[in-house]
């Protein structure tokens, strides 16, 4: 039975070879006006480009099993392979005085990088689609204490893109005693952690995922690693750190013990200032480009029922400072006074009131809400420095009054027009999930992450998911 690695490689490697041959042919086409000897030299370059490109990708670990489908790593591998080829060509051309055409090199390298990049994007989407259907998954034994195992199983099941399918559990209860239950999270319990290797054989597993457990540390974990190595089974250890992103984690090696180093969040003064500058510049450009749209929406709202164009609502900003958030008005004028009678039938989560088919929403308001056009005036809040383009959802004062201590960390950064909450389901999320996403953003935000969220926002707005 083929693993997902082999199926993925059987698609990726031939695709890279075809792209490389196409790049060699395209480069040859740029040299058709050369003399016959030179033309023969460039023709020989067609198969050479194919072999050299595959070799460069292999040396850059682009085909390694562990990171075969990791997008960011694959892009870096492509960059390393391309730079390696360019450096080698430059050195060879200098030493041998080879007069290689710059147009040829530019054409070949452009097609190699862009083509292989596009191939990986397509194949990663194919793999994600397969995994969302429950296919090409790795059978996984989850080992640890019952509470940690339950959380890890829930995380793996909610993220099929990880490709890990829990099929067996080896766990103890909180006191370290054998479990009396037969399943955790719907996954059968096959024994305590000491029987993890037996569970691997019984469940025909490919991966062992270890959650935090006092009995699986130091020598015990090392012996488990050795036993799994003999069986060709991968080992994954969950460090027990909630929502700490990869860039903040690094290994600090020492002679006797390797330590997991967790960097501080990136909210340094330099990062905060650069984020504010980017917000202001982008918001100004968007307002300038969309000014005709803003005027058209304002006219439509005004003609709808003759009420005010804008709706101003007090929200809580960074460090708990209140500000007036602007939106195009999508509800009837007396919407706030009718809120109390509708709160009992809310479709939103525990703290954030949301209601599908809210009777207070106007006709034009339904369309503005579905595509988030009602939020465009918040660009002026961004220009005033009260909000950011990306950040946690700006809360109401009554919501902040009900915050538990952890939730107050959301107020350490400026609220955003969009964020992880916006692109992950919006009003369809529970309060706990909304809070988890906001705290993840606060602890792990970066300029690249903000750009990724903005791109995902476009898709979420067009789909209209969770918007009501």
Q: What is the pLDDT of residues 199-222, one digit of tens each?
A: 999 999 999 998 876 666 667 788
**pLDDT on residue 176:** 75
With 70 as the cut, is the pLDDT of residue 169 above it? Answer: yes
- Strand 310-316 and strand 322-328: the pairing is antiparallel
At 369-420, the pLDDT tens digits run 888 899 999 999 999 999 999 999 899 898 898 888 888 888 988 999 998 8
At 67-84, the pLDDT tens digits run 888 877 899 999 999 999
**pLDDT on residue 288:** 95
> Between these two residues, 261 and 150, which has the higher pLDDT value?
150
How many Å apart are CA 23 and CA 57, to the nearest integer? 15
At 349-368, the pLDDT tens digits run 555 556 666 778 888 888 88
pTM above 0.85, yes or no: no
Please report the domains of the chain, with CATH numbers, ordered by start residue.
4-132 (no CATH), 138-240 (3.40.50.720), 269-463 (no CATH)
**pLDDT on residue 43:** 93
How many Å apart are CA 355 and CA 371, to the nearest integer? 17
Mean pLDDT of 149-154: 88
| Whether the Cβ atoms of residue 309 and residue 411 lie closer than 8 Å to each other | no
With 80 as the cut, is the pLDDT of residue 85 above it? Answer: yes
**Confidence band (pLDDT; 50, 70, 90) for 344?**
low
% of residues, the chain, pLDDT over 90: 40
DSSP of 292-360, one letter per residue?
HHHHHHHHHHHHHHS--SEEEEEEE-GGG-EEEEEEE--B-TTTGGGHHHHGGG--S-SSS---TT-TT
User: Within a 10 A sphere around the Cβ of 402, how many other Cβ atoms?
Assistant: 12
| Whether the Cβ atoms of residue 435 and residue 407 lie closer than 8 Å to each other | yes
Q: How far is CA 259 from the centre of its chain?
A: 26
User: Within a 10 A sphere around the Cβ of 7, how many other Cβ atoms?
Assistant: 14
**CB neighbours of 81 closer than 8 A, spacing ≥ 6?**
53, 56, 57, 59, 60, 62
Name which of 13-17, 27-31, 72-76, 246-250 the model is least confident about.
246-250
At 285-306, the pLDDT tens digits run 999 999 999 999 999 999 988 8
Distance in Å from the first CA to the final CA of the chain? 47
Partner residues linked to 418 by β-bridges = 390
Mean pLDDT of 49-63: 95
Write out 143-194 in H/E/C secondary structure: EEEHHHHHHHHHHHHHCHHHCEEEEEEEEECCCCCECCCCEECCEEEEECHH
């Amino acid at each position: 039975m083929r693993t997902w690695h082999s199926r993925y490689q059987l698609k990726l490697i031939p695709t890279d070879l075809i792209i490389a041959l196409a790049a060699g042919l395209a480069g040859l086409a740029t040299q058709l006006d050369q003399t016959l000897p030179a033309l023969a030299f460039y023709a020989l370059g067609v198969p050479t480009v194919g072999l050299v490109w595959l070799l460069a990708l292999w040396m850059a670990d682009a085909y390694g099993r562990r990171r075969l489908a990791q997008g960011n790593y694959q892009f870096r591998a492509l960059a390393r392979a391309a730079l390696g080829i360019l450096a080698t060509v430059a050195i060879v051309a200098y030493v041998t005085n080879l007069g290689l055409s710059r147009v040829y090199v530019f054409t070949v390298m452009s097609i190699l990088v862009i083509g292989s990049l596009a191939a990986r994007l397509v194949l990663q989407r194919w793999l994600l689609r397969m995994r969302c259907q429950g296919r090409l998954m790795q059978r996984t034994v989850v080992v640890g204490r019952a509470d940690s195992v339950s959380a890890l199983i829930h995380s793996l099941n909610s993220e099929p893109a990880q490709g890990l399918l829990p099929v067996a559990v080896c766990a103890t209860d909180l006191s370290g005693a054998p479990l009396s239950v037969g399943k955790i999270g719907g996954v059968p319990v096959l024994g305590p952690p000491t029987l993890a290797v037996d569970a691997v054989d019984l469940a025909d597993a490919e991966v062992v995922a270890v959650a935090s457990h006092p009995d699986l540390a130091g020598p015990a974990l090392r012996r488990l690693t050795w036993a799994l190595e003999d069986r060709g089974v991968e080992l994954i250890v969950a460090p027990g750190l909630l929502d700490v992103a990869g860039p903040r984690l690094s290994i600090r090696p020492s002679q006797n013990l390797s330590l997991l180093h967790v960097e501080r969040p990136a909210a340094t003064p330099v990062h905060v200032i650069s984020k504010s500058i980017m917000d202001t510049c982008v918001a100004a450009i968007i307002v300038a480009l969309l000014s005709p749209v803003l005027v058209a929406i304002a006219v439509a709202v005004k003609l709808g029922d003759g009420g005010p164009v804008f709706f101003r609502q007090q929200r809580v900003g960074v460090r708990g400072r209140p500000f007036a958030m602007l939106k195009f008005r999508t509800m009837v004028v007396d919407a706030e006074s009718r809120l109390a009678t509708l709160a009992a039938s809310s479709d939103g989560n525990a703290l954030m009131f949301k209601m599908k088919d809210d009777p207070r929403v106007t006709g034009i308001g339904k369309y503005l809400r579905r595509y988030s056009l009602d939020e465009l005036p918040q660009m002026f809040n961004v220009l005033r420095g009260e909000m950011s383009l990306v950040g946690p959802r700006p809360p109401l004062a009554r919501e902040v009054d009900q915050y538990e201590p952890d939730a107050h960390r959301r107020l350490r950064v400026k609220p955003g027009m969009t964020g992880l909450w916006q692109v992950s389901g919006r009003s369809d999320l529970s309060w706990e999930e909304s809070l988890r996403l906001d705290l993840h953003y606060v602890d792990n935000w970066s300029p690249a992450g903000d750009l990724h969220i903005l791109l995902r926002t476009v898709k979420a707005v067009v789909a209209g998911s969770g918007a009501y």
